[in-house]
Structure 1
Amino acid sequence: MAEIAAPAPSPTRPKLALDGRAFLSRWGALLALVGLIAFNLAFTPNFATWQTLNVNLTQVCAIVIVGVGMTLVIATGGIDLSVGALMAIAGALAPLIFMGKLFPLPHPMVGVALAFVLPVLAAGALGWFNGWLVTRFRIQPIVATLVLFIAGRGIAQVMTNGNLQVFKAPEFQFIGLGRVFGIPFQAVLMVIVVAAAAWMLRRTLFGRQILAVGGNERAARLAGIPVGAVKRRAYLISGLLAGVAGLIVIARNSAADANLVGLGMELDAIAAVAVGGTLLTGGRATIVGTLVGALIIQLVRYTLLANGVPDAAALIVKAGIIVLAVWLQRQSHR
């Protein structure tokens, strides 16, 4: 009797599975954000109010700004653990400048202007130092940036003798408390940073070089791309944006605490990048995805707290979200 062959598997099934994975990888974060918003609109009291929107906006802006810099670094195949410490350094330096503790000021507004510029430049210089360690000595990025992760907060504490710096400087605090047409100025600044970085990554030679270096560094070298310079610039931008975020945080709090400013920010930024869809191995990045990822991280925390779940549980949920995001990345890459 002739054997009856089993029906061949449908050739469309693997394609459908692949399409589904690609869809989740591309749009999963946005769908999760929409789901979170819908859940809160249905079950969280007073979610659809300006006060709630303001609270979440002011909490997420610093994460997004730091996350943009982290996205560029990760896109090159690196990582930056020092961003929280750089925030602390910028946050410690700014009050020392505009309060005239470092050098005499001819006019208070001069001190405010310098407090906006010098701390950010200092953080950028330290970010470039991270890139120099990575490219000059071929140190693994996680090890190179661990140097300032440890020493950076110590530098900030030495600068302030470990003391809390409380201040009242409306001109300086505008960056954290000011409003433009009723919208928090830090949110406007966040949108500008996201838009500029997204344009740069998609439309400029430097943006394409970042992705080429992260995708295949050896091929990028053979193609004539200055790999070391590209990496140093990415770390420089990460440091600059960390400095800006540090100023926002101390302006919002009307105080600078070197022990707390930027504490844990490196983890939130990496989480936002991962959840947003940027490959942690480099070569592919999405700035808008990082914005969406940061909003998800913030909304998850807000949702749990608003519904009586302890903050410690939010950390566990955040870790689970990161694991899910990385798993989706691997499935899409396959």
Structure 2
Amino acid sequence: MLGSNTMKPKNNGPERKFSWQTFLQQYSGIITLLVLFVFNAIFTPHFLSMQTLNINLTQVATIVIVGVGMTLVIATGGIDLSVGSLMAIAGALAPMIFMSEGLKDSPYGIALAFVLPVLAVTLLGLFNGLLVSKFQLQPIIATLVLFIAGRGIAQVLTGGNLQTFTNPAFQYIGMGKPFGIPFQVILMVLIVVLAAWMLRKTVLGRHILSVGGNEKAARLSGVPIQGIKYAVYAISGLLAGIAGLITIAINSASDANQVGQNMELDAIAAVAVGGTLLEGGKATIVGTLIGALIIQLIRYTLLAKGVPDSVALIVKAGIIVGAVALQRSRRA
């Protein structure tokens, strides 16, 4: 009947109810970072000064740069323990180049000091990819090779000696401040933006995530598995090389025993806290940036309150455990 013909609303499925638990899980990183920022802004003197901001960003820049490469490796289901040693190799090579007799005080020497060390460790990163993809070694074993041998290579290159230098042109990468902003912070932001765009918008990014999500399915879909693994380990090596140059530029010295020490742990911690799945298949570059900032702010907060740095290391370990537990609850 015409009078009884009523329209019923379409049922498009069950309505999604707002859940505080889901919200906190999804935005836990940003919330934690905001809480730390507000706490320090209120209770830590001079926290909002430009000097303090620059100090924190400078200290976190190398961790983020290395963490970006680590994020890509972990996204494929791998791990890279060699990044600290690769930093040491790059840091050992650069002064040897620009302080050599033929290239001393030459712009060509500075250019080569930037290019050759980074190229060298990129090739070593490619070697990691070769061990993982071609020889089917587990990533933790494959990269353990250069974790051990890489620092030995750096020590052999320098004869175990501290290399000190003063070279404003080279040191600009670590001490320059265009527009009052540390150059390495600008470089960090550019690398984060470029890597985030690549991961989300390019075929390479989709292939990286597909390899980590389901390698067998990716292979059946025509994804070049070996090429992808070569690429992520090479990128990780390249970024470790850049971080190594920044480190020695800041310190005006290269110490093969100290450059990049424990950097692999800091990078993995930033990736885990940032929300990237350690099993692969899902990754967030911006999350790695947030994770590194959280770890740095927690350390800064504890030191500002007179807590020893040794305690800060224990807290960092607790944060990693919490991040992994949060990942498990998200999947559940």
Whether the TM-score (by the shorter chain) exceeds 0.5 is yes
Match of 2:173?
175
Kindly report which structure 2 residues correspond to 1:42-191, keeping only aligned pairs within 5 A, or say none: 42-100=42-100, 104-105=102-103, 108-191=106-189
CA distance in 2, matches of 1:21, 1:197: 30
2:209 counterpart of 1:211: yes
Matches within 5 A, 1:187-206: 187-206=185-204
Percent identity over paired residues: 68
Task: Count the aligned residue pairs.
Answer: 318
Kindly provide the amino acid, as one letter, of the partner of residue 136 in structure 1. Answer: K
Is the partner of 1:105 in helix, strand or coil? coil
Aligned position for 2:321: 323
2-structure distance, mates of 1:254, 1:20: 49
Amino acid in structure 1 at the alignment position of 2:273? V
Superposed, 1:171-320 pairs within 5 Å as: 171-320=169-318
Give the 3-state SS of the residue equivalent to 1:308 in structure 2.
coil
CA contact (8 A) 2:98 2:105 kept: no
CA contact (8 A) 1:24 1:328 kept: no
Specify the code of the residue in structure 2 equivalent to 1:198: A
Could you tell me whether the CA contact under 8 Å between 2:33 and 2:294 is conserved in 1?
Answer: yes
Mapped to 2, the partners of 1:271 and 1:24 lie a distance apart of 20
Quick one: distance in 2 between partners of 1:16 and 1:295? 32
Alpha-carbon distance in 2 for matches of 1:183, 1:42: 24
Structure 1: give runs of 5+ residues left out of the alignment.
Answer: 1-11
2:77 and 2:26 mapped to 1: Cα distance?
20
How much has 1:54 moved relative to structure 2?
1.2
Tell me how far apart the structure 1 counterparts of residues 239 and 255 of structure 2 sit (CA, whole Å).
19
Matched, 1:39 2:39: yes
Deviations 1:136-179 (A, max 9, x none): 11111001000000010010000001111000000000000001
SS at match of 1:52: helix
Counterparts of 2:156 and 2:23 in 1: how far apart (Å)? 49
Once residues 204 and 191 of structure 1 are traced to their aligned partners in structure 2, the CA distance between those partners, rounded to angstroms, is 19
Amino acid of the structure 2 residue aligned with 1:44:
T
Using structure 2 for the length normalisation, give the TM-score: 0.93
Name the amino acid aligned to 2:317.
A
SS at 1:181 equivalent: helix
Letter aligned with residue 148 of structure 1 = L
The secondary structure found in structure 1 opposite 2:260 is coil
For residues 170 and 23 of structure 2, what CA distance do their matches in structure 1 show? 44
Three-state SS of the structure 2 residue aligned to 1:278 is coil
In structure 2, runs of 5+ residues without a counterpart are 1-13
* C-alpha distance in structure 2 between counterparts of 1:86 and 1:16, whole Å: 49
For 1:268 and 1:173, how far apart are their aligned partners in 2?
24
CA-to-aligned-CA distance 1:42-97 (integer Å, 9 cap, x gap) = 21122111111111011000000000000000000000000000000000000000
Q: Distance in 2 between matches of 1:223 and 1:273?
A: 28
**Which shows bigger deviation, 235-244 or 25-34?**
25-34
CA contact (8 A) 2:90 2:120 kept: yes
Instruction: Give 4+ residue runs of structure 1 displaced > 4 Å after superposition.
Output: none
